[in-house]
A and B are shown apart, each in its own frame.
Chain A
């Protein structure tokens, strides 16, 4: 199993702005998943992008995947205070385990 490395570690923006966070990984994958964690809670699945997909949208979320660069990005448009959370990527290869990096702590300022 492998974990993704999120960047930046922390991001603080104004409400209404867009937030972009990145994920890098090291070996080949079947899919890559993004999760959100609010403080003191479990993780919530946001979006899954397969290795043969390059971009995927879900509401205000846009995820890209570049398998040649082994990287993914998560864009949150028109951010809201409720988007304040930690965001984790989880690259999934042959092993079935989801392993997480340090995440990106996103703060949306009103």
Chain B
């Protein structure tokens, strides 16, 4: 099956710094990528939908200036957590789908972010 690679898998950063997470589709072109956040023992919360070549669409309550999303190519989307704070510590997961409504999504391995 298709592979989505997410990097890094774990990152620890200091409060006030920014962290970039990459999501790559390795063997298909992903017109759309999605970014999720997951707290322990909870479900995935959709943060934003990333469309190649255009601005991301953020879900209600998600700060776009806090979570910067760039989808510069059909195989790469990045999520930058700016001025990170301890409450931003979470598990972030990306997913990608090929064009078309009737397709499954492929997920990255997730990134465990810890802000100290």
Q: How many angstroms from the CA of A97 to the CA of B96 in the assembled complex?
A: 11
Q: How many residues on A have C-beta within 8 angstroms of the other chain's C-beta atoms?
A: 24
What range describes how many residues of B lie at the interface? 20 to 34
Contact with B along A31-45 (1 / 0, CB 8 A): 101010000111111
Q: Chain A interface: which of B13-21, B61-69, B108-116?
A: B108-116
Inter-chain contact B34/A98, CB cutoff 8 Å = yes
Report B53-109 residues with CB < 8 Å from chain A CB: 91, 93, 95, 97, 101-109
Given the known interface contacts A40-B110, A45-B1, A102-B43, the answer about A96 and B97 at a Cβ–Cβ threshold of 8 Å is yes
Scan A67-110; emit 1 where CB is below 8 A from any B CB, else 0: 00000000000000000000010101000111111110000000
Contacting pair B107 A97 (CB below 8 A):
no
Given A40-B110, A97-B49, A45–B104 Cβ distance below 8 Å? Answer: yes
CB distance from A52 to the nearest CB of B (A): 11
* A43-B43 contact in complex given A31-B102, A33-B104, C-beta closer than 8 Å: no
Determine whether A48 belongs to the interface, using a CB cutoff of 8 Å to chain B: yes
Question: Cβ of A50 < 8 Å from any Cβ of B?
Answer: yes
Residues of A within 8 A of B1 (CB): 45
Residue of A nearest to B102 (CB): A31
Smallest beta-carbon distance B18→chain A, Å: 23
- CB of A44, distance to nearest CB on chain B (Å): 7
Report the bound CA distance from A99 to B37 in whole Å.
Answer: 12
A14 to B95, CA, bound (A): 32
Ordered by A's residue number, 9 sampled pairs between the chains whose C-beta atoms are within 8 Å are A30-B101, A42-B6, A43-B93, A43-B107, A45-B104, A48-B102, A90-B105, A96-B97, A98-B34
14 A-B pairs besides A42-B110, A44-B107, A45-B104 with CB distance below 8 A are A1-B46, A35-B107, A40-B91, A40-B110, A41-B109, A43-B95, A43-B107, A48-B103, A92-B101, A96-B32, A96-B97, A97-B46, A99-B46, A100-B43
Residues of A within 8 A of B (CB): 1, 30-31, 33, 35, 40-45, 48, 50, 88, 90, 92, 96-103
